[in-house]
Structure 1
């Protein structure tokens, strides 16, 4: 949520959060506290992040697909705050969708 900069982010942690046993996972993308650096190396953090991305439930977050070739034209709409885009998957030539 740090991408939001100084904007407040509402993350309701009420009914569904508890009853459905949802988890909120965070990561420090800057520097790691000195006392944790020996345990949480860059490689370990990257491996954990990539492993979390293998969860098929995350596919539901991909609301749009756009080819890399079309990205320059589509990007303004994809990034518009009033759009319905949750997350867009960029498809590269020859890559399976």
Structure 2
């Protein structure tokens, strides 16, 4: 007798982080803010001292509180981009 398949995870159509990798989030933040501003907003060494995407990913994967800050800043960036787009469309 085989075990039933586990239920599929629920779809998250309204979650802007759903389906994004941590790498995609970090790359988008660096493109939007730059390393210097990112280090000012989230003062961790991986953003302020010889920053790179690989070193940031290594740190963020081990440090839940820093990852939460990065995800929060990413959501803030998305809101800012939407506001800017709405102003241009008006």
TM range (shorter): under 0.3
Structure with greater contact order relative to length (CA < 8 Å, sep ≥ 6): 2
Is the strand fraction higher in 1 or 2? Answer: 1
TM-score, length basis structure 1: 0.23
Is the helix fraction higher in 1 or 2? Answer: 2
TM-score, length basis structure 2: 0.25
